[in-house]
């Protein structure tokens, strides 16, 4: 897209005008420039906008200079993907109220959106759900899956961190502009994601401060970019359950981790399971429900991976085969200390070379 068009998409975002109206006007007028220069009366002719919103839109435009908005975004090394771009996420294009523009930090092109799993849940996630969700994500057998969440506390943070630990790409969708990372405690997580591990995106111009309503609103993007949505803990009335309903409206596969019946935050997913949502107790459940096939690795790539293993990693790898082997058996054959072995097993598992099974047994995957 040329900058002459891009500046208007960016300027419209800076006006903080709801995306649904921007996209409707774009479809009506046929060009983003015509949207920007549309008169109040022309905009008001669109049924969903009307005179009041059209007048409000005209007032907001007076405060924004498109050239200055474009320069600000360019100077901050922020990418912009607009509704008319070829690389706009295809699934997102077809939801109700798709974002008019996405501001991106990191590299979304490295994220496989054909195998995208959204994860939502309570900000007050229990130790139980953190442990189970982390294990499920870490054990996903295919390393080309992208984990999408909202970078909030609790479940979201757990999902992103587990993806990073498992060497999976992850996308965080913010509820405000980049100038307002929320919560601030996730600034380090934000930087890890954009530093080669995926992308952080927002439909809001960087200087737009998040409002409470924007957080559940952004979850239509979390769900919209994915093929399936996994719900951790969620109270009966929560943003996560709003997202679950959005997922159903969008035709997504809805999956839930069952929770302890004594936990009020487990009522949401437990009730969804009763109503027909798929129950997830291990990573393979997700693969089966989504019909995702484990990524095939070429023989040459397998040899390359094995060749790069360190001496002790080679030693451990050679003791394993397709039959599950216990930690005690591996210790006996390698003569390593328990501490050394645990570090090596973690490293090999993160590289996708081995897989941990129940009862602390391990097998080769390459």
Closest CA to 128 of 259, 229, 7: 259
- Is there a single domain that holds both residue 64 and residue 143? no
Residue 125's alpha-carbon distances to 152, 182, 212, 288, in angstroms, are: 11, 17, 20, 26
Q: Which residues contact 326 (CB under 8 A, 6 or more apart)?
A: 359, 360, 361
pLDDT for residue 139 is more than 70:
yes
- Is there a single domain that holds both residue 250 and residue 168? yes
What is the band of 297 on the pLDDT scale with cuts at 50, 70, 90? Answer: low
**The predicted structure's pLDDT at residue 2:** 67
- Is there a single domain that holds both residue 219 and residue 344? no
Question: For the sheet containing 354-357, what is the strand order?
Answer: 325-326, 361-364, 354-357
29-45: pLDDT as tens digits: 999 999 999 999 999 98
Omega prior to 183 cis, within 30 of 0: yes
pLDDT for residue 1 is more than 80:
no
> Does 95 reside within a domain?
no
Mean pLDDT of 309-317: 89
Return d(Cα 21, Cα 99) in angstroms, integer: 10
CATH, residue 355: 1.10.10.10
Closest CA to 198 of 226, 228, 173, 215: 173
Task: Transcribe 171-202 into DSSP letters.
Answer: EEE-SS-TTS-SSGGGHHHHHHHHTTSEEEEE
**The predicted structure's pLDDT at residue 201:** 98
Lowest mean pLDDT among 13-27, 215-229, 230-244: 230-244
- Is there a single domain that holds both residue 198 and residue 226? yes
Long-range contacts at 183-191 (CB < 8 A, ≥ 24 apart)? 183/152, 183/153, 185/153, 186/151, 186/153, 186/157, 189/151, 189/157, 189/160, 189/161, 190/151
Helices and strands, counts by H and E, the chain: 18, 12
- Is there a single domain that holds both residue 350 and residue 283? no
59-116: pLDDT as tens digits: 999 999 999 999 999 999 999 999 999 999 999 999 989 999 999 999 999 999 999 9
What is the band of 354 on the pLDDT scale with cuts at 50, 70, 90? Answer: confident
Q: Which of the pair, 349 or 302, is modelled with greater confidence?
A: 349
Question: For the sheet containing 146-149, what is the strand order?
Answer: 79-82, 101-106, 198-202, 169-173, 146-149, 116-120, 228-231, 253-256, 278-279
What is the band of 191 on the pLDDT scale with cuts at 50, 70, 90? Answer: very high
CATH, residue 247: 3.40.50.450
- Is there a single domain that holds both residue 158 and residue 56? no
Return d(Cα 21, Cα 133) in angstroms, integer: 37
- Is there a single domain that holds both residue 183 and residue 229? yes
pLDDT for residue 302 is more than 90:
no
Tokens 């009020």 sit on residue: 264
**The predicted structure's pLDDT at residue 91:** 92
Q: Which two tokens stand for residue 207?
A: 């200087």
Mean pLDDT of 117-129: 93
Q: How many structural domains compose the chain?
A: 3
User: Which domain, by its residues, includes 69?
Assistant: 3-76
> Does 246 reside within a domain?
yes
Mean pLDDT of 188-196: 96
Closest CA to 173 of 199, 192, 191, 207: 199
Is residue 206 a contact partner of residue 103, using CB atoms and an 8 Å limit?
yes
- Is there a single domain that holds both residue 62 and residue 211? no
Closest CA to 233 of 261, 253, 252: 261
Helix (H) or strand (E) holding 59: helix 50-61
Domain end (from 76, 94, 129):
76
Return d(Cα 112, Cα 236) in angstroms, integer: 32
pLDDT for residue 305 is more than 80:
no
**The predicted structure's pLDDT at residue 299:** 64
141 half-sphere exposure, CB direction, 13 A CA radius: 22
- Is there a single domain that holds both residue 355 and residue 278? no
- Is there a single domain that holds both residue 253 and residue 123? yes
- The chain-wide mean pLDDT, for the chain, equals 90
Q: What is the largest CA-CA distance in the chain?
A: 81
Residue 131's alpha-carbon distances to 109, 128, 143, 161, in angstroms, are: 30, 5, 20, 12
Most confident of 170-174, 209-213, 265-269: 170-174
362 beta partners:
325, 356
pLDDT for residue 358 is more than 80:
no
Return d(Cα 155, Cα 186) in angstroms, integer: 13
Percent of the chain with pLDDT over 90: 66
Domain end (from 290, 309, 334):
290
- Is there a single domain that holds both residue 328 and residue 285? no
> Does 89 reside within a domain?
no
Percent of the chain with pLDDT over 70: 97
């Amino acid at each position: 897209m040329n900058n002459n068009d891009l500046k208007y998409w960016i300027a419209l975002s800076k006006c903080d005008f709801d995306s649904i109206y921007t996209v409707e006007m774009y479809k009506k007028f046929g060009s983003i420039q015509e949207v920007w220069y549309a008169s109040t009366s022309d905009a008001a002719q669109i049924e969903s906008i009307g005179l009041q919103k059209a007048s409000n839109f005209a007032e907001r435009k007076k405060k924004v200079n498109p050239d200055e908005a474009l320069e600000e975004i360019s100077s901050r090394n922020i990418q912009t993907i607009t509704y008319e771009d070829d690389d706009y996420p295809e699934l997102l294009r077809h939801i109700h109220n798709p974002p008019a523009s996405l501001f991106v930090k990191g590299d979304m092109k490295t994220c496989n959106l054909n195998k995208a799993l959204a994860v939502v849940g309570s900000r007050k996630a229990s130790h139980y759900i953190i442990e189970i969700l982390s294990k499920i994500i870490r054990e996903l057998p295919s390393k080309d899956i992208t984990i999408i969440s909202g970078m909030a506390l609790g479940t979201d943070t757990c999902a992103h961190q587990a993806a990073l630990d498992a060497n999976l790409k992850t996308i965080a969708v913010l509820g405000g502009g980049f100038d307002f990372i929320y919560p601030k405690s996730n600034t380090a997580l934000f930087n890890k994601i954009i530093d080669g591990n995926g992308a952080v995106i927002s439909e809001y111009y960087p200087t737009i401060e998040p409002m409470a309503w924007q957080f559940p609103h952004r979850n239509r993007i979390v769900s919209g970019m994915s093929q399936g949505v996994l719900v951790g803990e969620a109270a009966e009335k929560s943003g996560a359950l709003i997202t679950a309903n959005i997922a159903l409206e969008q035709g997504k596969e809805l999956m839930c981790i069952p929770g302890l019946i004594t936990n009020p935050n487990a009522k949401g997913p437990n009730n969804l399971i009763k109503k027909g949502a798929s129950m997830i107790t291990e990573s393979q459940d997700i693969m089966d429900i989504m019909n995702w096939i484990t990524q095939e690795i070429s023989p040459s790539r397998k040899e390359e991976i094995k060749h790069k293993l360190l001496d002790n990693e080679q030693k451990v790898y050679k003791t394993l085969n397709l039959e599950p082997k216990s930690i005690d058996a591996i210790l006996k054959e390698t003569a390593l200390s328990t501490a050394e072995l645990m570090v090596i097993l973690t490293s090999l598992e993160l590289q996708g070379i081995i897989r941990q099974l129940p009862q602390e047994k391990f097998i080769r995957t390459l």
